[in-house]
Amino acid sequence: MLCDEASFLWLCAASSAEEAQAGGGMATVEGRPAQYGVTLQQLRELMETRGHEAIQRIHDEYGGIQDLCRKLYTSPTDGLSGSAADLEHRRATFGANSIPPKPPKTFLQLVWEALQDMTLIILQVAAFVSLVLAFIEPEDHDSGHGGKPKEPGESEAGWIEGVAILVSVVIVVLVTAFNDYTKERQFRGLQSRIEQEHKFAVIRGGEVNQIAVSEIVVGDICQVKYGDLLPADGIIIQSNDLKIDESTLTGESDHVKKGEHTDPMLFSGTHVMEGSGKVLVSAVGVNSQAGIILTLLGAAHTENKEQKKKKKKKACYVEAGEKELSPLTQPDPNVDEEAAMSGNSHLGNITANTHMEPARADSIVASGSPAEENNPRKEKSVLQAKLTKLAIQIGYVGSTIAVLTVIILVVRHLIEVFVAEGRTWKSSDTQHIVNCFIIGVTVLVVAVPEGLPLAVTLSLAYSVKKMMKDNNLVRHLDACETMGNATSICSDKTGTLTTNRMTVVQSYICGVNHKSSPRYENLPATVAEKIVYGISVNSAYTSRVLPPENPGELPKQVGNKTECSLLGFVLDLGKDFQSVRDDIPEEMLHKVYTFNSVRKSMSTVIPLDGGRGFRVYTKGASEIVLKKCSFIFGSGGQLENFRQEDQDRLVRTVIEPMASNGLRTICLAYKDYILTGSNTKANEVAVTEEPDWEDEDNIVKELTCLCVVGIEDPVRPEVPEAIRKCQRAGITVRMVTGDNVNTARSIALKCGIIKPGDDFLVLEGKELNRRIRDSNGEIQQALLDKVWPRLRVLARSSPQDKYNLVKGIIESKLRDNREVVAVTGDGTNDGPALKKADVGFAMGIAGTDVAKEASDIILTDDNFTSIVKAVMWGRNVYDSIAKFLQFQLTVNTVAVIVAFTGACAIRDSPLKAVQMLWVNLIMDTLASLALATEMPTSSLLLRKPYGRTKPLISRTMMKNILGHAIYQLTVIFLLLFLGPEIFDIDPGMGVRLSEHFTIIFNTFVMMTLFNEVNARKIHGERNIFEGLLTNPIFYSILIITAVAQVSGLLCVFQENLFHTLQPV
C-alpha cells in the first residue's frame, strides 16, 4: 500500500536532505530542497528504454516508481501541490510542455514572395523599359503615340506612366503581403485556440483538475483514459487494461499493451486506444520523445530549405517559363509547409489555400510512414474544384485576348508607320511597342480576378471567426464551405441529438419492474449491496456525481454520462458510491476489461474478503450481457436458473418496452470465483488457483443477473426543428448509434428523422452487413447502393459499420452529383469515418482527443443545431464568393472588351494601364471585403445544395453579368464614339491628357461602384436594397470607395497619374 501523505512528504524531505547537502546551506522551494533527486539528462535517458529493460532500470537506479516519485517531490496519490513557485521551478529545471513554434515570416519576407509573381515581374520590366525610353528619348523627336503630334508638356511627363505602374505594383505587393500576413496571424490564433481547448486530467493537491496541456510539468500525476492523446512522456503508476497506439512514433499499427509490470513507458503524441491508468510525467516539451523527433525534423527542414534555395537558383529560368505559360495556376501541392501556411494569393493565383490545419506537437509522422499512407488527403472541396476550373477558363480567355490586343496594336502601328508613311524606325516606335505590350499585360491583369483569392480568404476567415460564436471550432478552413454543399449528415445520437444528461428512470430488480427509484431497504439486502458495489467499483473512478453548485440546480455529472446515471441511481437508493470506492481504491482492482465498441460491456475483478477468491462485476448493453447470464435473482432475492426462454421473456416484457420508450437498457451482473476449501453456491465457480484473466471469454460467462435499468437521455428540445430545417434544405439526416434498435427508432421518431408510415430503413449493424456483403464477405458497392438511399437509422453499429456506410455513400455513383457527407463522432474508433467524410465533426465535450484530431470542425457544445449553423455559414461562404464573382466578372468583361475594342478601333485603349490597375486593385479589393462579410440568413436553408456539377456561375448570375456588362459597354461606347459631339470636346485619341477619356474613366468607375449593390443578389431577387443596412462593412466601403474616387486628394494627383484632367 502507498504511504499516507504526511509520511510520504516526510520521506521526501529526509531523503532530499541526504542527497542535496552542500556546505552548510541549501536552496529551497516551498520548504523543500530545490535540487531534485534525478536530473533532466537522467530522465531523458530513462525514457529511451522500453519494456522489461525500463522496469529493471527504474528498479535498479531509482528504487522503483514510488522512489522515483519521491526524488521528484510528488505524491503518487495526491500529485503536486500546484503552487506557482513549485510549478515555475519545475519548468525552469525540466522545461515547459510546449514546442517552440516556427518563427512567423516577417512582413518583408512576404513582400519578397509577392514580388515573385510572374505577372508582376512582367509589369515591372515593362515599366522599367518605359522609364528608360522616356529619359533617353531625343529632344528633337516630333511624334507621339501612334505617330501623332505630342501635346505640350507630354515629353516632360513621359516618365509618369512608368512610375505609376511601379506604384501600382508596389501597392499590389503590399496588399498581397498584408493579406498573407493577416492569414498567418489568423492561422496562429486558430492554432492557439485549439491548443487551449486541449485539456488533460491532472491530480494536484489530491483533486482531479482539467488543465491545459501546456501547463503540465514533470512530476505531475495524470489520469489517462480511452481516447486520450498523451501530452507528455510518462511512467505508469497504475493501469487497467491499457493499450496504446504508438504508430506516430514507430509506424507500427498494432496496439501495444502497457502496464506497470509489462511496459510502463508512455510517450507524447501516442493515443490511448483502451483502458485507463495513472501516470507520472517524466519528460515534457522538447525533452519528450516527440519533442526530440520534432527538433530533429526542424533541423532537417532548415537544411533542406537551404538546399532547395541553391537548386531554385539553377532552375529559376525553367520555372519562370512554366509560370509564363500558365499564369493561372493552383497552389503547388508539394509546396513546403511555410508556403502552405501563408497561402500566397498573387495576381496569377486565383485559388486561395484553404487547408489550414494547425501543426500539432504530436504530429510527428515522417513522410512515407504507414500512418501517412493510411490517411490520404481529402479531395478538393466543391468550391475549390469549381474555382480551379473557372481559373483555367479565365486564364485561356484572358491570355488569348491579351495576345490578340498586343498583336493588333503592334501590327497596325507597323503598317501605318512603315508601309503607309514609309519612314524609318525611331525611338518613339520602341516606346509605342512597349506601351502596346503594357496594355496587353494590363488586359491580362484585368482579366484575372485577382481580388478573388482575397474574397475567398476574407469570406472564410470572417465565417470561421463568427462560427466560433456558434460553437463551431473550424480546424480546416475548406470544411467551412464544404458544409454548404452537404447532402447527407450521419449523426451520433447520444449528446448530439440528445442532452447527454442521463438518469435511471426504470429498473427491473428481483422480478419487480420499478417505474421510479426504489429505496435500498425495500430491496433484498444481498442483491442491493451487490448492485451498489457493482456500480461503484465497475465504473471509471473518474466518473463522479457532484452536489449541485447552486441551490435548485441538478447534481453535476463528471466523466462518462452513462456511468454517472448509474452512480446517480446509487445515490437515489440512499447509498454513497464514494465510500465504496474508499474501501476499494483503484489500486486494489485486480483486473479491468474496459468498455469498447466490440465488447459493449465493462468488467472489473476485485479480490473477495479473507482471500476467499475473486468477484467479477459486469455491466453493459442488456442483450449482450443477458446472453452471458445463467442465473438471476427472482422474487424475494431467491437465486434462479436463467434459461433461454426466461431470457426471451425478459427481453419481451421488460427490455423492449423500455427501449420503445426511448430508454437505453443496461444489465448489471456478477460472478464469484471461490478458491478450493470454501463452500460454493450454485452460481459460484470453484477454482484451485487464480484464473487466467487474459481468457476473457471464459471469465465473463455464466454470470448472475442483478438487475436491468432503463436510462433516459432526453432529445434536445431544439433538435426536431433543426432536423426539419435540414430536410427543407435538401439534406438527409441519418442516425448512427450503438444503441438498441428499438431505442434508436423511438429517438429517431421524436427527432423527426423518420415519421410514422415512411418507407425508410431502420437496420442494425449485423443486418446492414448481411445486405451489403457478398458470399465471400466482401462489401459490394452495388449492394450498398440498394440500401443507403432509404437508410435513416443504423442501430447497434460498430465504428467499422459507420466507416463502411460513409465510404459507400461517398463512393456511390448512383446519382449524378456525388453525395457530400458530414459525419459526427466522439470515440477513438470514429477516427477513420471522420477522416473519410467530406466534413468530420468531433464532439468538444464528450469527444476523445483522437476524434478531435481526425475532425475538420469541433462542436464545442456537442449540439446538432450547431451543425445546422455550420451549413448556413458554408452556404453563405459559397454565396459570398459567387456575389464577388458576379461583380468582378462584370468589371473584367467590360474592361477587357473596352481595351480590346479600343486597340482595334482607335489604336489606343480608352482605359489606360494605370486606370485599370486602379479599378482592379482598389475597387475590387474593397469590393471583396464588402461582399465577403455578408451575414447568413435563414433563407439559405430554403434551397437545395448546389451540388458538385452545377457551375459556379449560375444562369441567373450569367444574365446579371451579361445584362450589366451590355449596359456599361453601351454607355462607354456611346461616350467613346459620340462623347466629343455630345459634350463638345476634343476626341481623346492619341492625347495624353483628355477630358474625353476623363469622362469615360469616371463613368466606368461610378457604374462599377453602383454595380456592387446589384451584385449582392444572385438568385433573381427583385429588391436589391433588401438587407443593405444590416451590413455596415458594405455600406461603409461603398462610401469610402466613392469618396476615394472623387475626393480632392485624387484630384490633385490624377492629372499626371491617371491621365485625366482635374474637374473644374
- In this predicted model, what pLDDT tens digit does every residue of 61-105 receive, in sequence order? 999 999 999 999 999 989 998 899 999 999 999 999 988 877 888
For the chain, helix (H) and strand (E) counts, in that order, are 37, 29
Residue 843 cell numbers, joined: 464532439
Residue 403 cell numbers, joined: 495576345
Looking at residue 6, its pLDDT comes to: 41
Cα torsion for 130, 131, 136, 137, to the nearest 10°? 50
pLDDT digits (tens, 9 = 90+) for 613-664: 999 999 999 989 999 999 999 998 999 999 999 999 999 999 999 999 999 9
Average pLDDT, the chain: 81
- 685-694 in b/e form (b: 16+ CB < 10 A) is beeeeebeee
CATH fold label, 386-460+879-1057: Calcium-transporting ATPase, transmembrane domain (1.20.1110)
599 pLDDT tier (thresholds 50, 70, 90): confident
Q: Which residue has the higher pLDDT, 734 or 335?
A: 734
Sequence-ordered list of residues with C-beta below 8 angstroms from that of 75, at least 6 positions apart, any chain: 5, 8, 9, 69, 221
Sequence-ordered list of residues with C-beta below 8 angstroms from that of 999, at least 6 positions apart, any chain: 975, 979, 983
Q: Give CA separation, 912 vs 446, 509, 989, in Å.
A: 11, 89, 12
Q: Which residue has the higher pLDDT, 326 or 759?
A: 759
Reported pTM: 0.75
Q: Percent of the chain scored above 70 by pLDDT?
A: 81
Q: Percent of the chain scored above 90 by pLDDT?
A: 39
Q: Which residue has the higher pLDDT, 1064 or 832?
A: 832
Residue range(s) of every CATH 2.70.150.10 domain in the chain: 5-101+217-291
Q: Which residue has the higher pLDDT, 240 or 339?
A: 240
Q: How far is CA 565 from the centre of its chain?
A: 32
791 DSSP β-pair partners: 761
Tell me which residue has cell 520555372. 319
Looking at residue 734, its pLDDT comes to: 96
How far apart CA 46 and CA 58 sit, in angstroms, is 8
Looking at residue 269, its pLDDT comes to: 87
Contact 1004, 1032 (CB under 8 A): no
Sequence-ordered list of residues with C-beta below 8 angstroms from that of 18, at least 6 positions apart, any chain: none
200 DSSP β-pair partners: 211
Spot the catalytic one: 228, 263, 492, 908. Answer: 492
Angle at 665 between CA 661 and CA 667, to 5 degrees: 155
Q: Which of 30-39, 675-684, 865-874 has the lowest mean pLDDT?
A: 675-684
Q: Which of 3-12, 250-259, 865-874 has the highest mean pLDDT?
A: 865-874
How far apart CA 817 and CA 947 sit, in angstroms, is 6
Half-sphere exposure of 945 (CA within 13 A, CB side): 27
pLDDT digits (tens, 9 = 90+) for 295-336: 777 655 555 555 655 554 444 333 333 333 333 233 333 333
E strand or H helix at 1030, and its extent?
Answer: none
In the chain, what is the straight-line distance between the N-terminal and C-terminal CA atoms, in Å? 97
Per-residue pLDDT at 904 exceeds 80:
no
Per-residue pLDDT at 116 exceeds 50:
yes
95 conformational bin, left if phi > 0, alpha if psi -120 to 50, beta if neither: left
How far apart CA 422 and CA 266 sit, in angstroms, is 88
Looking at residue 190, its pLDDT comes to: 67
856 catalytic? Reply is no
Per-residue pLDDT at 169 exceeds 80:
no
Contact 99, 362 (CB under 8 A): no
Looking at residue 21, its pLDDT comes to: 41
E strand or H helix at 351, and its extent?
Answer: none
Per-residue pLDDT at 1044 exceeds 90:
no
What is the radius of gyration, based on Cα positions, of the chain? 36
Q: Which of 679-693, 778-792, 837-851 has the highest mean pLDDT?
A: 778-792
Residue 122 cell numbers, joined: 512582367
Q: What are phi and psi of 895, to 5 degrees?
A: -65, -45
Looking at residue 46, its pLDDT comes to: 92
Looking at residue 436, its pLDDT comes to: 81
Q: Which residue has the higher pLDDT, 743 or 413?
A: 743
Looking at residue 464, its pLDDT comes to: 84
Per-residue pLDDT at 954 exceeds 60:
yes
Span 408-426, average pLDDT: 81
Residue 360 cell numbers, joined: 500539432
Of 2.70.150.10, 3.30.70.260, 3.40.50.970, 1.10.287.1770, which CATH number belongs to 5-101+217-291? 2.70.150.10
Contact 78, 205 (CB under 8 A): yes
How far apart CA 377 and CA 396 sit, in angstroms, is 29
Span 765-778, average pLDDT: 93
- Residue 466, helix vs strand vs coil: helix
Residue 438 cell numbers, joined: 503594357
Per-residue pLDDT at 421 exceeds 70:
yes
How far apart CA 158 and CA 143 sit, in angstroms, is 13
Looking at residue 692, its pLDDT comes to: 92
450 pLDDT tier (thresholds 50, 70, 90): low
- Residue 325, helix vs strand vs coil: helix
Residue range(s) of every CATH 1.20.1110.10 domain in the chain: 386-460+879-1057
Angle at 272 between CA 496 and CA 370, to 5 degrees: 100
Span 458-471, average pLDDT: 85
Per-residue pLDDT at 210 exceeds 60:
yes
How far apart CA 1056 and CA 727 sit, in angstroms, is 60
Residue range(s) of every CATH 3.40.1110.10 domain in the chain: 503-712
How far apart CA 337 and CA 302 sit, in angstroms, is 12
906 conformational bin, left if phi > 0, alpha if psi -120 to 50, beta if neither: alpha
Looking at residue 15, its pLDDT comes to: 47
How far apart CA 1033 and CA 1039 sit, in angstroms, is 10
How far apart CA 677 and CA 688 sit, in angstroms, is 9
Residue range(s) of every CATH 3.40.50.1000 domain in the chain: 466-498+716-871
| Nearest one of 1007, 990, 989 to 893, comparing CA atoms | 1007
Per-residue pLDDT at 369 exceeds 90:
no
Per-residue pLDDT at 17 exceeds 50:
no
Q: Which of 138-152, 282-296, 339-353, 770-784 has the highest mean pLDDT?
A: 770-784
Looking at residue 420, its pLDDT comes to: 77
556 DSSP β-pair partners: 546
Q: Which residue has the higher pLDDT, 1056 or 224?
A: 224
Strands (E), 321-471: none
- For domain 466-498+716-871, give the CATH superfamily: HAD superfamily/HAD-like (3.40.50.1000)
How far apart CA 913 and CA 440 sit, in angstroms, is 9
Looking at residue 810, its pLDDT comes to: 94
Per-residue pLDDT at 162 exceeds 50:
yes
Looking at residue 922, its pLDDT comes to: 63
Looking at residue 1051, its pLDDT comes to: 54
CATH fold label, 503-712: Calcium-transporting ATPase, cytoplasmic domain N (3.40.1110)
Contact 603, 668 (CB under 8 A): no
Q: Which of 55-59, 208-212, 532-536 has the highest mean pLDDT?
A: 532-536
The DSSP call for residue 715 is B
Number of C-beta neighbours around residue 330 at 10 A: 16
Q: What are phi and psi of 788, to 5 degrees?
A: -65, -35
